[in-house]
């Protein structure tokens, strides 16, 4: 069963993402901050990360960079954010994300972002 780390400072967003991913057959772990996500990532392997961009403290871009430095093997990192201008989306993809989803996320969009894993 694929294993995904969900990182978002908003509890409702984490619960929604967890429900969608578990329905699609993923096992999930939730973290509410970038710092806790990095700690969790060091303790167990993940196939993918669903990562909020706008978090207090360490934002999603910084977490993505740190995850890329620490990753062992393949890792899919999907950003999700409330505001995605076309140039911002390009910047996120260039900074190491594999895909960008816009909030509020839909079941279809989340499933498509993780399909085939």
Q: By the 8 A CB rule, do 105 and 21 touch?
A: no
Domain 3-114: give its CATH superfamily: Response regulator (3.40.50.2300)
pLDDT over 80 (residue 84):
no
Domain residue ranges in the chain: 3-114
85 pLDDT band, cuts 50/70/90, is confident
100 pLDDT band, cuts 50/70/90, is very high
Tell me the per-residue pLDDT of 9-19, one tens digit each, with 9 for 90 and over.
999 999 999 99
**Weakest-pLDDT range from 34-43, 58-67, 92-101, 102-111:** 102-111
**What Rg value do the Cα atoms of the chain yield, rounded?**
13
Please state the pTM of the whole predicted model. 0.94
Tally of helices (H runs) and strands (E runs) in the chain: 5, 5
């Amino acid at each position: 069963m694929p294993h995904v780390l969900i990182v978002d400072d908003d509890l409702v967003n984490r619960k929604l993402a967890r429900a969608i991913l578990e329905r699609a057959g993923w096992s999930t772990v939730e973290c509410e901050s970038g710092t806790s996500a990095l700690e969790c990532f060091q303790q167990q392997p993940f196939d993918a990360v669903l990562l909020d961009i706008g978090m207090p403290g360490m934002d999603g871009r910084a977490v993505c960079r740190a995850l890329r430095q620490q990753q062992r093997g393949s890792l899919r990192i999907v950003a999700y954010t409330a505001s995605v201008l076309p140039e911002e989306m390009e910047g996120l993809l260039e900074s190491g994300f594999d895909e960008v989803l816009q909030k509020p996320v839909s079941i279809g969009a989340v499933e498509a972002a993780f399909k085939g894993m």
